[in-house]
Structure 1
Amino acid sequence: MNINATLFLQAIVFAILVWFTMRFVWPPITKALDERAAKISEGLAAADRAKSELAQANRKVEEQLASTRDEATRRLADAERLAQSLVEDARGKASAEAAKILAQAESDAQQALTKARDTLRDQVAALAVKGAEQILQREVNPAVHADLLNRLKAEL
């Protein structure tokens, strides 16, 4: 066989192979590569979106944490103010009760003092009558001399 004919025949077979590859093999390969590139770009875009959503979610969480901390601080301050006002109210009630008890005690003491003075006056009057009886050596009738004894009590 002739080398030229072999080369020509190989060139034709090569051309058929190139045409067959370009027509039937190359399009599915390029289509698969394009699909893969599209999937990769979609995946990268989704990753970027997820990253930005994660950053946004982190910001929201931080904001919520800050607002929760602020609210907790505010509630603690409110509770502290309420406790302070309750303590002040209790102090006010206690001092009012103490003043009431003190006034009652002073009143009771004044009544006891008045009663003791009256009892002492009666005893002094009885002693004065007994003393007068012994001085006069006769019996002094308290009923007869009631006016005199009442004036004596008033002077004492």
Structure 2
Amino acid sequence: MNLNATLFAQLIVFGILVWFTMRFVWPPIVKALDERAEKVAEGLAAAERGKSDFEQAEKRVAEILAEGRTQVTDMVANAEKRAAQIVEEAKEQAVGEAARIMAQAKADVAQEANRAREALREQVAALAVKGAESILRSEVDASRHAQMLASLKQEL
């Protein structure tokens, strides 16, 4: 066999194979590779977008948490202020009520004292009248008068 003819035939078959591969096999492979590269690029872009969205969401969550903490702190401070205010109002009401009760009690005590004085005056007047009546009915005698006064003292 002739090496030149074989080599030439192999070159022709190789050329046909290269042409066939370039014409029918290579374009679908390149197309598939391009599609795959495009999908990978889209996936990477989506991953980057997801990463940036995640970072933004984390920032937003941190802001919301900080805002929530601030609101809770404000609410607690307002509640403490309101509680102190309620306590002060209750103290003021209690002091006012105590003053009113004390004034009422003093008035009641004064009334009772006046009643007792009036009753005592009436009793003293009655005893004085009774003593005078006794003195006037009996004869005038110093020893008897002293005795009567002593008995009146015991009655008082």
- 2:48 is aligned with 1:58: no
Amino acid at match of 2:125: A
Q: What one-letter code is carried by the residue in structure 2 that aligns with 1:53?
A: D
Write the distance in 1 (CA, Å) between the matches of 2:79 and 2:70.
14
1: CA distance, partners of 2:10 / 2:101: 129
Tell me, which stretches of 5 or more residues in structure 2 are unaligned? 139-156
Tell me the distance in 2 between the aligned counterparts of 1:68 and 1:2. 92
Give me the whole-angstrom Cα distance separating, in 1, the residues matched to 2:118 and 2:107.
16
Letter in 2 for 1:63: E
Q: Does 1:28 align with 2:39?
A: no
With structure 2 as the length reference, what TM-score do the two structures score? 0.83
Listed one character per residue, the Cα deviations across residues 57-82 of structure 1 (whole Å, up to 9, x for unaligned) are: 01101111111111111112112211
Report deviation, 1:17. Answer: 0.5
Offset of 1:3 from its aligned partner?
Answer: 2.4
Which residue identity lines up with residue 33 of structure 2 in the other structure?
L
Deviations 1:127-155 (A, max 9, x none): 112222233335xxxxxxxxxxxxxxxxx
Quote the Cα distance in structure 2 between the aligned partners of 1:29 and 1:15.
Answer: 19
Unaligned runs of 5+ in 1: 139-156
Aligned-partner SS, 1:128: helix
Query: Which residue of 2 is the match for residue 83 of structure 1?
Result: 83
The one-letter code sitting in structure 1 at the alignment partner of 2:75 is R
Is the aligned partner of 1:99 residue 2:99? Answer: yes
Query: What is the letter of the counterpart of residue 136 of structure 1?
Result: L
Q: Percent identity?
A: 61
1:44 counterpart residue number: 44
Give 4+ residue runs of structure 1 displaced > 6 Å after superposition. none
CA RMSD of superposed structures (Å): 1.3
Q: Which residue of 2 aligns with 1:71?
A: 71
Q: Distance in 1 between matches of 2:39 and 2:127?
A: 127
Aligned AA (1:79): A
Secondary structure at 2:71's aligned position in 1? helix
Structure 2 distance, partners of 1:137, 1:70, is 99
Question: How far off its partner does 1:126 sit?
Answer: 1.2
* 2:115 corresponds to 1:120: no
Q: CA deviation at 1:2?
A: 2.2
Question: Separation in 2 of the partners of 1:137 and 1:72?
Answer: 95
Compute the TM-score of the two structures, normalised by the length of structure 1.
Answer: 0.83
User: How many residues end up aligned between the 2 structures?
Assistant: 138
